[in-house]
């Protein structure tokens, strides 16, 4: 499996800042933030599957545009993989005919541009030999992370999460773990805000990584624009023993 970082920022503000979106091979998206907009029309048309961690706008904003743009170019609908709760949020608050048309009914309910596939934590989805398993997450709305397994190696993406003991119980059983992408949205001076919004700051990141019993490369995502240098400096101070590095647009992982 190959994973390409299209966006990994907690906000916008320049060509290098795109919100969360990862492209797996050529046909799978993990989240669909603003980074999807940098793909070409031909690349967009190849996307068959979109796995969503949660309903917040920085993770789903490109779904309506993608489906509207390429729906008529495709022979089958784009499948959006979501928990039941997230599906209802998308239906009620985005694809509701007021914010955006409901593309599960366009051009017809029998042959739509978009369809939903319900997922559950721990239940693996297999696509052409690639295993994608939803993981527990602890956020302000229903949320998951993802375990991507090629058979040769695994990558874990936590999604947006705060303190999350159930995640580590699962991760510590992944024998072929190679990469872990974990969020750190706030600097330490905003630990109170990280607590309230169920994100992590560097001191909390270190407290979480103590629970990791396996060796893996640690990559930091979801940094807030304007605090990137400060937060990464604090990450080094608090969690330097795990050698965490900052995730960047355009980065490629193969496993």
Give the tens place of pLDDT for each residue, 123-138: 999 999 999 999 999 9
Give the CATH number of the domain where residue 49 resides. 3.60.15.10
Q: Is 79 exposed, middle or buried (0-12, 13-18, 19+ CB in 10 A)?
A: middle
**For position 78, what pLDDT does the model report?**
98
Of 141, 75, 44, 63, the closest CA to residue 101 belongs to 63
Q: What total of structural domains would you count in the chain?
A: 1
Q: Low-confidence residues of the chain, pLDDT below 50?
A: none
The model's pLDDT over 164-196, given as tens digits with 9 standing for 90+, comes to 999 999 999 999 999 999 999 999 999 999 999
**For position 114, what pLDDT does the model report?**
98
Angle between helices 202-209 and 228-239 (to 10 degrees): 30
**For position 138, what pLDDT does the model report?**
98
Domain that holds residue 225: 2-254
**For position 15, what pLDDT does the model report?**
85
């Amino acid at each position: 499996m190959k994973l390409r970082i299209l966006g990994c920022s907690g906000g916008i503000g320049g060509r290098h800042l795109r919100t969360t979106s990862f492209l797996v091979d050529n046909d799978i998206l993990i989240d669909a933030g603003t980074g999807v907009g940098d793909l070409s029309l031909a690349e967009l048309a190849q996307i068959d599957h979109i796995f969503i961690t949660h309903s917040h706008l920085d993770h789903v904003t490109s779904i309506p545009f993608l489906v509207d743009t390429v729906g008529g170019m495709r022979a089958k609908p784009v499948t959006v993989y979501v928990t039941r709760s997230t599906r209802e949020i998308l239906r009620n608050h985005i694809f509701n005919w007021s914010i955006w048309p409901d593309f599960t009914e366009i051009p017809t309910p029998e042959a739509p541009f978009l369809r939903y596939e319900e997922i559950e934590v721990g239940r693996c989805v297999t696509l052409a030999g690639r295993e994608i398993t939803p993981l527990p997450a602890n956020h302000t709305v229903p949320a998951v992370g993802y375990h991507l397994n090629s058979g040769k190696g695994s990558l874990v993406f936590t999604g947006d999460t705060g303190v999350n003991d159930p995640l580590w119980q699962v991760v510590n059983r992944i024998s072929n773990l190679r990469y872990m992408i974990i969020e750190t949205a706030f600097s330490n001076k905003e630990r109170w805000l990280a607590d309230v919004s169920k994100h992590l700051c560097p001191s909390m990141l270190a407290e979480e990584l103590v629970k990791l019993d396996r060796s893996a490369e640690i990559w930091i995502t979801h940094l807030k624009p304007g605090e990137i240098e400060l937060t990464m400096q604090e990450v080094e101070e608090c969690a330097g023993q795990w050698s965490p590095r900052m995730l960047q647009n355009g980065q490629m992982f193969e496993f």
